[in-house]
Chains A and B, each alone.
Chain A
């Protein structure tokens, strides 16, 4: 059973860049049919799809974040990453990584809380 787990800083200053990683265990990231996905949840709010990457390099980003977002994959480390630049308070959220089986998300990390504050 695949397990995904987020890691990264809990506190980031405004205007800085957020870097999060998601480690995949129990399965290979180099598997066709899976899309390695980032989602966030603002405090007491619903879910926002950020984007995904396929191990062959195909990405899809939420247009609302596209200008600030990069999702990459490191197959040798079996992990994928998110970089979000020019942070503001509006980026404060619980960030999840997940495996998309096709696009339904069947394995989720526990989430990592990111607070943007000086």
Chain B
């Protein structure tokens, strides 16, 4: 299985901060990566797909990058808002079984 490793596991930040989460794959996944946000008691919500494409209706404060290595990806929130405190997951969807990262919890500093 393709392993997706997120770092950090927990990130403490304040409203207005710029935060970046990294996701590394143990094999190439091209740019077939999605990012999701999950708040307690809710299902995940798609934020970004194909590594850099913002899902319709998602704030432009969210952005994704890929890399030439096709194994390292980042999710950046440009200016953290109160609703952004949540857990974020990356997912690769090119190799079966499809796999998720273990999650990064963004909490209040």
The 5 closest A-B CB pairs, nearest first, are A103-B93, A108-B43, A104-B49, A47-B100, A104-B34
Q: Please tell me which one of the listed residues B42, B43, B46, B101 contacts residue A46 in the complex, with CB atoms under 8 A apart.
A: B101
Q: Taking A46-B100, A46-B102, A49-B99 as contacts, is the C-beta distance between A102 and B43 under 8 angstroms?
A: no
Q: Please, which residue of chain A has its CB at the minimum distance from the CB of B96?
A: A60
- Bitwise, A94-113 to B at CB < 8 A (1) or not (0) is 00101000111110111100
Q: Is A25 an interface residue (CB 8 A)?
A: no
Interface of B is mostly: loop
In the complex, the answer to whether B89 meets A47 with C-beta atoms within 8 Å is yes
- Bitwise, B78-109 to A at CB < 8 A (1) or not (0) is 00000000000101010011111111000000
Q: Please, which residue of chain B has its CB at the minimum distance from the CB of A37?
A: B98
Number of interface residues of B (CB under 8 A): 22
Which bucket holds chain A's interface residue count? Answer: 20 to 34
In the complex, the answer to whether A46 meets B103 with C-beta atoms within 8 Å is yes
In the complex, the answer to whether A108 meets B44 with C-beta atoms within 8 Å is yes
In the complex, the answer to whether A111 meets B43 with C-beta atoms within 8 Å is yes
Tell me which residues across on chain A come within 8 A of B46, comparing CB atoms: 104-106
Tell me which residues across on chain A come within 8 A of B89, comparing CB atoms: 46-47
Q: Please, which residue of chain B has its CB at the minimum distance from the CB of A63?
A: B97
